[in-house]
Amino acid sequence: MINSSELASIFEVKPQNINNLRSRYNLKDTVDTVVHSNNRRYYTPTGVRKILKKRNYQFERKNICVCNVKGGVGKTTISVNIAKKASSLGFRTLLIDCDKQGNATDQIWPSANDGDFPCLYDVIKKHVSLSDSIVEINPFLSLLPSNLKNQLLENEITNTNINKGSYFKRVLDSLDFDLIIFDTEPNLSQINLMALAYSSLNIAPIRLDKNSIDGLDLLLGFIDEQSKEWPEMNTETKVLINGFDKRMTTEAIKKIGEVRELGVSTFDTAMRIDQSFVKAQEHGEIKRGTKAYEDITDLVTELLELKPNKKIAIQ
């Protein structure tokens, strides 16, 4: 849930105007907004969704992959927190965990632990349908979880007669989500290609303190090469700088230059270094008011084009 001032800052309106919206849009107490014991008013996902709709925001399905062949650059952190933030803003969100380590699964669905649940391997193997494998975390956030069975996934994809390029289109297009996000492993696997082929956007996180441009170069070359055989592949890759620190400004400018030379753009938002990301892995939510909280909010605002001059008419 988000409070009035956060909502006002996302929409670039004065906080008192947000409060006016409550009566204008007939928002219902306890359903669309709730007042906590600290006397502050919070907007529920249902409430934010209602406001967005009233302001003519078009909820069109977005399919997004978070992929870079470099490990440890923040793919899971980014995909999990985009999923959580977008769902808190009323986007019906599905996170697909393609990584056999199941880090995203652990963070979104802590009670999964060692439970025996279906994952992508079972879906491709046709043990179970994709929609039956989805776990509803809350009415706005769902997860296709992963576990170690996905060790067998690559082998299964190679040996099964499926149209890899259009597979996700066939099984996901009809599902009722506004946003689908794939968290991937750091490699050039078939499952990553399948996820990329379905996504219109690939978010490629890079770190400034590591040589992640090499990984990006490799990924872009590979996508290019594969798109000859995968006609469905029409993915824009956009780089997200993760682990930024003010002292690294020169380094960041240099990296952005290197990224541009590769022919891709970067997000305006960069993710700063903040231990709140690490703490949230254990405690579920990023603490309000931290750099991590601000940066994820900015990223989701940019990604989903929530600013009034973009998709929402100013009222």
Ligand X SMILES: Nc1ncnc2c1ncn2[C@@H]1O[C@H](COP(=O)(O)OP(=O)(O)OP(=O)(O)O)[C@@H](O)[C@H]1O
Among the listed ranges 73-81, 156-164, 213-221, 304-312, the one in contact with ligand X (CB under 6 A) is 73-81
Q: Tell me if 102 contacts ligand X by CB under 6 A.
A: no
Q: Strand 135-138 to strand 141-144: parallel, antiparallel, or no bridges (unpaired)? A: antiparallel
Contact string 74-93 vs ligand X (x = CB under 6 A): xxxx----------------
Q: By CB under 6 A, how many residues form the interface with ligand X?
A: 19
Q: Cβ contacts of residue 48 below 8 Å, gap of 6+?
A: 2, 7, 88, 89, 90
* Binds Mg ion (CB under 5 A): choice among 49, 70, 75, 85: 75
- CB of 20 or CB of 275, closer to ligand X: 275
Nearest residue to 183 (alpha-carbon basis) of 199, 169, 170: 199
Amino acid at 140: F
Residue 146 touching ligand X (CB under 6 A): no
**Bridge-partner residues for 202, per DSSP?**
65, 237
Tokens of 151: 């060790």
**Min CB(314)–ligand X separation in Å:** 32
Cα(237)–Cα(244) distance, integer angstroms: 20
Q: Taking the complex as a whole, how short is the minimal distance between the CB of residue 172 and ligand X, in angstroms?
A: 22
Nearer Cβ to ligand X (46/290): 290
CA-to-CA dists, residue 238 to 84, 168, 264, 273, angstroms: 20, 21, 6, 20
Interaction pattern, residues 255-294, with ligand X; x per rule: CB under 6 A: ----------------x-xxx-xx--x-------------
Restricted to residues 155-214, the positions that interact with ligand X (CB under 6 A) are: 186
From the list ligand X, Mg ion, none, pick the one residue 273 interacts with, judged by a Cβ distance below 5 to 8 Å according to partner type.
Answer: ligand X
148 lies in the binding site for ligand X (CB under 6 A): no
Binding site for Mg ion (CB under 5 A): 75-76, 103
Binding site for ligand X (CB under 6 A): 71-77, 99, 103, 186, 242-243, 271, 273-275, 277-278, 281
